[in-house]
Amino acid sequence: MLGRALLLLLVCCSKQDTPAPVFHPRYGAIMIDVGRRFELAGKAASANRFELAAFEVGEIQESFEQELPNAELPKEGPSQALPAMAKGFLETNAVELVKAAKAKDARAFTDAFARAAAACNTCHQSSGHGYVEIPSALGQAVPSVTPP
pLDDT digits (tens, 9 = 90+) for 50-85: 999 999 999 999 999 999 999 999 988 899 999 999
Domain locations along the chain: 24-126
- Average pLDDT on 114-132 reads 96
Half-sphere CA count of 12, side-chain side, radius 13 A:
6
pTM over 0.75: yes
Task: For the domain covering 24-126, report its CATH number.
Answer: 1.20.120
Residues 37, 116 contacting (CB under 8 angstroms): no
> DSSP per residue over 46-92, as a string?
HTT-HHHHHHHHHHHHHIIIIIGGGSBPPSSS--TTHHHHHHHHIII
Q: Which residues contact 68 (CB under 8 A, 6 or more apart)?
A: 27, 30, 83, 86
pLDDT of residue 6: 44
